Each structure stands twice: as structure tokens, then as C-alpha cells.
A and B are shown apart, each in its own frame.
Chain A
Amino acid sequence: MRLTRRTMMTTACATWAGIGLPARAQPAEPDADEVIAAFIGDAPVRSDGITLDLPESVEDGYRVRVEVDAPGAEEVLLIAPANPVKAVVSVQFGAMAVTHRVVTRIRLAGPQQVVALARMPDGTVCRKTQHIDVLIGGCG
């Protein structure tokens, strides 16, 4: 699934990681369950076949390293349910991307269960969830 530009542009008013203002939700932004359901569709879901590597806790959510490994996957989607925009990134792998691995750095608005989904060539979806604690920023 690729979210349309229209969906992406209708944003909630909130903030990242203690850098701003209280959330002012707007109905057009799909919630995390909707984003996840849209990706999965009717596909069978399994819990193996994907790893999600991120820290257990971070001082602030400004720049958090995330690695998703999903051998064989056609596409992966990363969801941060406590963020104003739940879908964070999706990656489609071409034939050369034989490891189906991606690393990026993301913003997290608070402590939450980050979800990674991978669409496999056999029509199944692999799902992995990991909790991360996001503390308020300190000097360190």
C-alpha cells in the first residue's frame, strides 16, 4: 500500500517528542489500525519472517535509528501509532535489493509500540511489534 498524497497532506496538529504543542486531531488522518488494516487487506498474517531493531528506550524521539529486515519481502511499512501521522515510511525493494533490509532514522512523539509489516511474494504479511520508551530530552 502507498498512502496517497491527499491522505498524507491532511495532517493532525501535534508534535514530535516534546518539541511542541498538544495534539489537535483531525478526522481525515487514518488511525494506526486503519493504516495497518489497509496494508494487510485479506492476507494471512504471521509473526516470523521480519525483524525490527530499535532501542528499548531513548532520551528523546528526535532521531531514532530503526532497522527492518524482511528477507524476501516486496515491500515493508513502518507504523508509529503515537505519531500524528501513523505511517512513517514504506520501502519497495527491487530485484537487486537481495537482503530486503533498510535502516533509517525516525521521529517518535512518545513511548509507543512501533509496528513493522512486510508483504511477501506468497501473499502473506509478516508483522513485528516492539515497544520503545521515549523520555524527555536531557543534556546527554
Chain B
Amino acid sequence: MTLNRRSVLAGGAATLAAPAVLAQGHGRSRVVVIGGGAGGATAARYIAKDSDGGIAVTLVEPSRTYATCFFSNLYLGGFKTLRDITHSYGPLAAAGVNVVHDWAIGVDRAARTVTLAGGATLPYDKLILSPGIDFVEGSVPGWDISAQNAMPHAYKAGSQTELLKAQVDAMPEGGVFAMVAPPNPYRCPPGPYERVSMVAHVLRDRNPTAKIVIADPKPKFSKMALFEEGWARHYPGMIDWVGEDFGGGNVSVDPAAMTLDIDGDLLEVDVCNVIPAMKAGRIADIAGVTEGNWAPVNAVDMSSKADPDIYVLGDASQQGDMPKSGFSANSQAKVCANAVRAALIGSTQFPARYANTCWSLIDAEDGVKVGATYEPTAEKIARVDGFISQVGETDELRRATYEESEGWYSGITGDMFGT
């Protein structure tokens, strides 16, 4: 049997050792991808898969497994297990991606190298940053990352999500679940409100006199009409949303005392889910490709406006009209992968087309969605047309929408990880 390029690469990837990383890929173009989520995993897989060994792809991701943020609310609601939403990087390695489990801590744009916490240096011809989000320090007075055990954010799926679920399950009868919602822009616009729906679903069955309070700096939120209708229908009187009009953005928390102050009104709470303001994952800052909190990119190919050899995908990018979502990141990754292959090995570059849909579950089998298609303009990725679920839809349609979201989930995770 003759070993082909791909099986050699796959074997090398499985060792995960830094020297192997450095040894491979000489003579070939090198792409380094930082962040193994919906943007990074998809980009890595598509470049490796479609370049037929012509490009050496290294994916840097600290976690050994990946719990998807999307559908993590369904875990909170008891509709999914954590295992259902946790994925292995094994298939990606088998597909020819060199997966390195380490933290990227430095980017030298002049030398075109990435430094890892473990000490290795990775040279690149093209660098793809898909680091997701970090929190803006001080955005919720009284809260910092050291308070995340008392007041979890649960906005990166995994142990934080488990903790929040355990806290909801342990709420005393008639207790108060509070959420501090984030200002725009942030990961998954309907996410906080789907989360409230899922918590309400659990409480209605186990703790029906419990209350939910949302302090929100925004005057309105994604799919608000649909959520408000659903909350009135499924959870009447349980959910109290305090928006901009009543000082929902003027909040502070005391994690030791378990109190939440909303515009001067002090509330004692049993669970407090603090979702701070967000910014691009830190490596984007380190690479020097951010302006303010996000990394501006060119709409035609997701390349950084600061450096033509760097691309920024997903939540960290500032691209225009697309919401920060897993679907968006996956869509952007495919455009980016096509552009990177064209730049490095001269393959055909197709015109960019982007799409997004955000599904949300309000109660069992009551699914809603909002989505759009997008095209690049000179200034930004611009919305072309869109659709949104309607209030008053039939139960059958809502169930079909939920089933569609399950199909999407298996589709996108397959697309990300090659399963």
C-alpha cells in the first residue's frame, strides 16, 4: 500500500506534538486557524478537504472537545444532554487538519508566525482568527470573571452551562431567577431570550411560583414579538422584562450578597445569570486587527482590513449586517476558505454569498426563526432579504420549525467537524 499525502498528514496530526507541527508542511502553503468553533473548524476542514493536500492546515484550539453554544439553551431546558451538544476534534484530524490543543498567545505579523503557550511557533502564509468572544471588563459593575461561579455567564458552553442548570434546579420554591442581558452587538441575539424561555419551561414544571426578571440595557430585542407572545401564552405572569425605559441598563450586582440593583431598586435573587458586554476574543487584539471591540473585515472574503494575510471569522469580526451566530460563522468560513485556497493555490474564487438563520425554542415544540441572505458591498456585508416567524402561527408550523432546527444542528456540526 502506498501511503498518500492525506493519510500521512492524518497520522502526523494525531501525535499533536509541537515538533511534528513544525516539521510538516515544508514546501506547501501553510494556513493556521485559531479557534475551533463554527468559523474556525469549518474553515480548517474546507481548506484541507478542498486543497487535496496542497495546503497544510493547522487548527489551534485549547479544548479537547467542543460544546456548541448553539443548542446549549436546550440543555438548560432539559431537551438535550450536554453530551448531545459536545463534539470531538478526532474526525477533523482524520480529514487532514493538524489539530493542536494549545492557546495561541502571540501573533508576529511581520514574520507571519503564531506563538503558542506551550512554546511552539507556527509559521503561516494565511492566518484565520475565529476566537469567538471575550467579555468587556467592568461592563456590569460588581461582576468580573472571578464571580462567574456565583453568577455564571454561561455564554461559553460547557461547565458554565452545567453550573447555571444546577443553580436553576436548586432554586427555592418561589425563588427569583435574574438575568443581566448584554448590550448590542453580542453573540446570538435571541440567545438570552431563548434561555429565559428554557428556564421558564423548567420552572413552570418544577417551581411554578418562581419568578424571572430580565434587566436589559436595550429598548427591544431580537424576535421580541414572538417571545412576548410565547411568554404570555406559556408562562403567564412569570417573566418580567425591564428594558431601557425603566433603567434596565443601569444595573450593578453583588455576587456575595446575591443582589441585583436595577436603577436603584435592590432585588434579592437566587440565581443571577450575568451576560456582560462582549468584544472579540483576545487573540484578535493581540494580533492588532481590532478597532474598538471588534475586528473589521472586507465583505468579499472576510480578510482583515488591517492585514491581507489575516482573516477574521464569526463573532469576533465586524462585517456589517450579519448577526453574530454559529450559522453566520459557518457561512463566513466557507467564503473565507474559498478565498484562501484561491490566494494560495490558484483555485477558482466564487462570488461571496452569505446566509444566516437563528432558531429559538420558546417551549416544547414551539420553535421560531429569523434569517436572511447577504451579499458583499464595498462597505459591508449587506442584507439582501430576510424572513421571520409570525405571531399566531399554528402548532404544526411551530413544531416543523423546531424540527428544522434539529436538522440544521446535525447539518452544521457535520459541516464543522466532518462527521
Interface of A is mostly: loop
0/1 per residue, A51-75, Cβ < 8 Å to B? 0000000001011010000000000
Partner among B219, B225, B323 whose Cβ is within 8 Å of the Cβ of A19: B225
Interface residues of A in 21-60 (CB under 8 A from B): 60
- With a cutoff of 8 Å between Cβ atoms, the chain A residues found around residue B91 in the complex are none
Q: Which residue of A lies closest to B322 (CB)?
A: A139
Inter-chain contacts of B223 with A (CB < 8 A): 137
B358–A19 contact, CB under 8 A? no
Q: Tell whether, in the assembled complex, residue B385 and residue A140 are in contact, meaning their CB atoms are under 8 Å apart.
A: no
Other-chain contact of B388, A63, A65, A105, A136 (Cβ < 8 Å)? A136
Q: Which residues of A contact B64 (CB under 8 A)?
A: none
Verify A139–B189 contact, CB threshold 8 A.
Answer: yes
How many angstroms from the CA of A139 to the CA of B325 in the assembled complex? 9
Complex CA gap A19/B387 in Å reads 10
User: Are the CB atoms of B388 and A137 closer together than 8 Å?
Assistant: yes
CA distance A65 to B245 in the complex (A): 10
Closest to A16 in B: B225
Name which residue of chain B comes closest to A136, CB basis. Answer: B386
Bound CA span A86–B390, Å: 22
Cβ contacts under 8 Å, B171 to chain A? none
Residues of chain A contacted by B392 (CB below 8 angstroms): 20
Tell me the residues in window 194-226 of chain B with beta carbons closer than 8 Å to chain A beta carbons.
Answer: 219-220, 222-225
User: Which residues of B382-398 are within 8 A (CB) of A?
Assistant: 383, 385-388, 390-392
Question: A138 contacts which chain B residues (CB < 8 A)?
Answer: 222, 321, 323, 370, 372, 383, 386
- How many A-B residue contacts, CB cutoff 8 Å? 53
Minimum C-beta distance from B147 to chain A (A):
28
Name the residue of chain B whose CB is nearest to the CB of A17: B225
Task: Report chain A residues within 8 Å CB of B370.
Answer: 137-139
Contacts of B338 in A (CB 8 A): none
Within 8 A of A (CB), among B309-359: 321-323, 325, 356, 358
Q: Tell whether B185 is near chain A: CB-to-CB under 8 Å.
A: yes
Q: Which of A60, A135, A136, A140 has the most CB of B within 10 A?
A: A140
Chain A residues closer than 8 Å to B224, beta-carbon distance: 62-63
Whether the pair A65, B189 counts as a contact (CB closer than 8 A) is no
Within 8 Å by CB of B358, from A18, A62, A63, A139, lies: A139
Contact between chains at B391 and A63 (CB < 8 Å) = no
CB of B391 within 8 A of CB of A19, answer: yes
Q: From residue A68, how far is it (CB to closest CB) to chain B in Å?
A: 16
Taking the closest CB of chain B, its distance from the CB of A111, in whole angstroms, is: 15
In the complex, how many angstroms separate the beta carbon of A134 from the nearest chain B beta carbon?
Answer: 13
In Å, the complex CA distance between A136 and B383 comes to 10
Query: Nearest Cβ in chain A — how far from B233, in angstroms?
Result: 15
The complex places the Cα of A132 from the Cα of B324 at a distance, in Å, of 26
Q: How far is the CB of A20 from chain B (nearest CB, A)?
A: 6
Q: Please pick, from B222, B371, B390, the residue contacting A140 in the complex, using a CB distance under 8 A.
A: B222
Asked if A137 and B386 make an inter-chain contact with CB atoms under 8 angstroms apart, the answer reads: yes
**Nearest CB in chain A to that of B356: its residue:** A139
| Closest chain A CB from B240 CB (angstroms) | 17
* Option from A20, A62, A136 in Cβ contact (under 8 Å) with B390: A20
Whether B189 contacts A140 by the Cβ 8 Å rule is yes
A20–B321 CA distance with the chains assembled, in angstroms: 24
Q: With A and B bound together, what is the CA distance between A60 and B228 in angstroms?
A: 15
Residues of A within 8 A of B149 (CB): none
Residues of the A chain whose Cβ atoms lie less than 8 Å from the Cβ of B189: 139-140
* Contact status A63-B220, CB under 8 Å: yes
Instruction: Check if A139 sits within 8 Å of B190, measured CB to CB.
Output: yes
Q: Is B410 an interface residue (CB 8 A)?
A: no
Which residues of B lie under 8 Å from residue A65 when comparing CB positions? 219
Interface centre among A65, A136, A138, A139 (most CB of B within 10 A): A139
Task: List 25 contacting pairs A-B, 8 Å CB cutoff, sorted by A.
Answer: A18-B388, A19-B225, A19-B388, A19-B390, A19-B391, A20-B392, A62-B224, A105-B219, A135-B383, A136-B372, A136-B385, A136-B387, A137-B223, A137-B386, A137-B388, A138-B222, A138-B321, A138-B386, A139-B322, A139-B323, A139-B370, A139-B371, A140-B185, A140-B189, A140-B321
Using a CB–CB distance below 8 Å, which chain A residues touch chain B?
18-20, 60, 62-63, 65, 105, 135-140
Question: Which are the 8 A-B pairs with shortest beta-carbon distances?
Answer: A139-B323, A137-B388, A63-B220, A139-B189, A139-B358, A136-B386, A62-B225, A140-B323
